[in-house]
Amino acid sequence: MIIVTSHDNIIIGLEIHVQLTKLKTKLFCSCSSKYRGAEPNTYVCPICIGLPGSLPVLNEKAVEFAMKLAIALGCKINKSMYFFRKNYFYPDLPKGFQITQYNKAGGKAFGDGGKVIIKKKSGKKEILLNRIHIEEDPGRLVHKGSIVSSPYTLVDYNRSGVCLIEIVTEPVINSPEEAREFLNQLKSIIQYCGIADLDLEGSVRVDANISIKGHARSEIKNINSFKEVQRALKWEIRRQKNFIKRNKLLKQETRHWDDSRRVTVGLRSKEFEKDYRYFPEQDLVPIELKKSYIEKIKNYLPEMPNARMKRFQNQYGLSEFDSEILVMDKDIADFYEEAVNSEKDFESKEYKLLCNWLKGDISRWLNLQNKKITDTDLTPIQVVNLVKLIEEGRITGKIAKSVIGDMMLGTPIKKILKQQGKKRIADEEKLSSICKKVIQENSEIIKDYKTNPRALEALIGKCMKETHGQADPKITRKLLLEYIEK
Ligand code: ZN
Ligand code: MN
């Protein structure tokens, strides 16, 4: 018998908690939400630490931000809704309940449905969403070292009451890779909405529900990064499959992803919804959204990555692949457009060249330094100048590569070249003598060349070394061939 293991029997649903880090204040009080790096328990007030008698007031901007995301994701926005209390006891939750939204018992989420399109090798796939809703963040528990070995637990309420949006997918994700791709796309959409910076530490937390078809599911709580989500899912799938193989019964439970040991561990058998005793929050008035208000927000929304990708293909003649990479990070895409729009007489070749530098050497440098393009002193004009110098044959690609680092730190390319005395050597006489020297000194490579024409590249490399990368590669190649054939 052949057992076909298909990805289709893996069922994953995600719940993503996103902090609206671009909000100045918390969800129900006027405390600052920029708590990162602050002294513990200094950004608090009676409302966000739940003192008796304090009354929450809804942050209007939070509604606007949620609306932006709901529109961008294509959710159906509910025009009238109210908040609920979700009751549970935990030290990070001083009120003993979390103010959230609920889509049962007469309640409505902020938006229902919606989708995110992801790309797969086999084509496109729509990841359907169940809903998105607004809720408050609990405080933060701080441990010394690991949670298991720490002699005590500290609590910091600076985070308590910060606005979260929870995005709940349908259980339609079939592999850890799909989950990762979905999260990347979602991150990009959130960046375009201008409501959160998900690169900030702790700004995103994911709960992953996962099961093998026909078996009990487990929920992995509080995974801190997209990379860890993929890892945790991979590990949990293996655990569940091993259980099934050994005919052991999986139970429905909540698990914790230990990212230092890279395993999931059982926490508790999963609580049921009724344990939360949801009921309407009486201290807040219902939200009523006018159609005109929704229309207004819609008009403010910038072009979303998918639409922008199509426009990049039409307007700049880029391939689908290239434009997709460019638009994924809004800052990079904005940079690109500023660069190409700074020159009136750009040709399609230059559109492509600029794209190549951004997605290639510049992105590589940013990744290596763990920086965003907006954190650097590189300007679009500088990259345009670089491309022009190459196009005009005044510097080689090799030289261009060698000066990128200095350019990222803000030094204009022309200044760098002047300092380093780097210019392309195109003078045939000068190159001739270098080529002859290299040929004389490398008889082994010449021998090799007779059976292996690719050995020529090694010779070009030697010429580059002689000239510190300044030899024009085309002329060098031509001259080398001339002399070898002789
Ligand atoms: Zn407060
Ligand atoms: Mn939640």
Distance 17 CA to ligand 1 centre (A): 20
CA distances from 271 to 14, 108, 267, 276, 469 (A): 17, 22, 11, 8, 65
pLDDT band at 243 (very low <50, low <70, confident <90, very high): very high
- Phi/psi for 112 (5° steps) reads -105, 150
In a domain, 203, yes or no: yes
Distance 135 CA to ligand 2 centre (A): 7
pLDDT higher than 90, residue 475: no
Q: How many CB atoms lie within 10 A of CB 427?
A: 10
245 & 215 share domain: yes
Looking at residue 466, its pLDDT comes to 84
Looking at residue 218, its pLDDT comes to 94
Distance 30 CA to ligand 1 centre (A): 6
pLDDT higher than 60, residue 1: no
What is the identity of the amino acid at 373?
A: I
347 & 240 share domain: no
Question: What domain range includes position 382?
Answer: 303-420
Average pLDDT over residues 335-340: 94
Q: How many CB atoms lie within 10 A of CB 102?
A: 23
287 & 311 share domain: no
Distance 171 CA to ligand 1 centre (A): 36
373 & 249 share domain: no
Distance 149 CA to ligand 2 centre (A): 27
CA distances from 80 to 40, 57, 77, 291 (A): 37, 17, 9, 11
Q: How many CB atoms lie within 10 A of CB 328?
A: 18
Average pLDDT over residues 89-112: 94
261 & 313 share domain: no
Give me the residues near ligand 2 (ion), CB cutoff below 5 Å: 166
353 & 337 share domain: yes
CB 214 within 8 A of CB 191: no
- Phi/psi for 249 (5° steps) reads -90, 125
* CATH number of the domain that residue 443 is part of: 1.10.10.410
Average pLDDT over residues 20-31: 98
Distance 92 CA to ligand 1 centre (A): 14
189 & 242 share domain: yes
Tens-place pLDDT, residues 183-229:
999 999 999 999 999 999 999 999 999 999 999 999 999 999 999 99
39 & 170 share domain: yes
What is the identity of the amino acid at 424?
A: R
Distance 62 CA to ligand 1 centre (A): 15
Residues 6+ apart with CB under 8 A from 471: 396, 424, 425, 431, 434, 463, 464
Work out the angle at residue 388's Cα, subtended by the Cα atoms of residues 385 and 389, and round it to the nearest 5 degrees. 85
pLDDT higher than 70, residue 80: yes
Nearest-ligand number for the alpha carbon of 137? 2
Distance 166 CA to ligand 1 centre (A): 21
The full DSSP string for 361-374 is: IIHHHHHHHT--GG
Distance 188 CA to ligand 1 centre (A): 30
Q: Which two tokens stand for residue 166?
A: 């929870």
Write out the E strands in 144-227.
153-156, 163-169, 204-212, 218-223
263 & 320 share domain: no
In a domain, 146, yes or no: yes
Distance 17 CA to ligand 2 centre (A): 7
CB 129 within 8 A of CB 152: no
In the block, residue with structure tokens 């330094």: 369
Nearest-ligand number for the alpha carbon of 51? 1
pLDDT higher than 60, residue 5: no
pLDDT band at 4 (very low <50, low <70, confident <90, very high): very low
CA distances from 423 to 397, 405, 436 (A): 11, 17, 21
Residue 173 CA to residue 204 CA, distance in Å, equals 19
CA distances from 260 to 14, 153, 224, 264, 337 (A): 22, 19, 12, 11, 41
Nearest-ligand number for the alpha carbon of 109? 2
- Highest-pLDDT range among 118-127, 252-261, 443-452: 118-127
Residue 144 CA to residue 294 CA, distance in Å, equals 46
Torsion angle (degrees, nearest 10) of CA 64, 68, 70, 72: 180
In a domain, 55, yes or no: yes
Nearest-ligand number for the alpha carbon of 221? 2
CB 470 within 8 A of CB 393: no
Average pLDDT over residues 356-374: 93
Beta strand 218-223 pairing with 80-81: unpaired
Tens-place pLDDT, residues 389-439:
888 877 878 888 888 888 898 888 888 777 776 677 778 888 888 888 888
151 & 286 share domain: yes
CB 13 within 8 A of CB 219: no
Q: Which two tokens stand for residue 270?
A: 């999963």
Tens-place pLDDT, residues 450-465:
888 888 888 888 888 8
434 & 396 share domain: no
Q: Report the mean per-residue pLDDT for the chain.
A: 91
Nearest-ligand number for the alpha carbon of 45? 1
Report the SS3 class of residue 27: coil
Distance 160 CA to ligand 1 centre (A): 8
What is the identity of the amino acid at 319?
A: S
346 & 242 share domain: no
CB 164 within 8 A of CB 19: yes
Average pLDDT over residues 114-131: 94
